[in-house]
Amino acid sequence: MENPESFYDAVLFQFFGTPVPVLDFNLITAGSVNQAVFLKTGKGEYLLKTNHRQNRNIFEKEAEGLDWLRRHTSLHVPETFIHGRIGDTNYLLMEWIASRTPLPDYWQKLGEGIAELHMVVGQKFGLDSDNYIAILPQINEQENTWENFFVNKRLEPMLQRAFYEGLISKDFMKEFRRIYPLLKGFFPKEKPALLHGDLWSGNILVNDKGTPALIDPAVYFGHREVDLAFSRLFGGFDRKFYEAYQHHFPLEPGFRERIDVYNLYPLLVHLNLFGASYLPGIQKTLSALLSNR
């Protein structure tokens, strides 16, 4: 983006239909996936997300995911205003969430809100359309059972992607597939629950009221333990979150023994996004499952 200010002006014109001055802007993130910019304008403050991906609907799907969350939880979910593409740049203009110190009951409210979200149930596992997790396509073709959906629409697509990208060998792929028969009867039988789908600390904000806000979802109807497992992958949330969730929507016994299996999916996602440093964690779970065969 050679002239970012001209791009910001163009996005604002698309939204308002008239020129709106940019009074100030500040780069918030400049990652390998998306850039996020704070815009202070003559008509308020906004967050502008951009990327140069070929998949033009990536921010459309993010906006749809945020809408799913907004309609089904009392937690703060930012409004989205406009998305599109100018030149070779995709963009999403959305509500700016100012931050402050979290209130003492921040984690309890988050636990209650995620439990509330998970109480929304569907008829099948999946969703009526595909979306993305980060920048990777996420296949949501519906299945009647969680085991089939988890294997066919979560593990296997990411496993194949890693193989075709040269990140794993054919022998590793064969070893991984040995766990599929072991997953029959492994998970508790529950109704498909509406999931955030990418629930880690980087996707939870503190808003200007000191309460939780959810961002960057990868929504679908799945096993609710997926979100809880993912929340523990990179350090975990405060214990008050898990206590509040358990109080409002108790988990079936044995959840801790299932965490690593659920987290094979986000580890495969990270393998495809960031490379082979995530292989040891995957191999550890495979070895544990296959040794108990």
Active site residues: 198
Cα–Cα distances in angstroms (integers) from residue 93 to residues 80, 99, 212, in the given order: 6, 18, 21
CA angle centred on 108, ends 104 and 113, rounded to 5°: 130
Contact 180, 28 (CB under 8 A): no
The beta strands (E) that lie in the chain are given as 22-30, 35-41, 44-51, 80-86, 89-95, 131-133, 136-138, 193-195, 204-206, 212-214, 220-222
- The residue written with tokens 């070779």 in the block is 88
- Residues ≥6 apart with Cβ < 8 Å to 287: none
- Residues ≥6 apart with Cβ < 8 Å to 144: 124, 125
Q: Kind of pairing, strands 80-86 and 212-214?
A: unpaired
Q: Kind of pairing, strands 204-206 and 212-214?
A: antiparallel
Encoded tokens for 4: 């970012």
Rounded to whole angstroms, the Cα distance separating 156 from 175 reads 12
DSSP-derived 3-state class of residue 203: helix
Rounded to whole angstroms, the Cα distance separating 280 from 91 reads 35
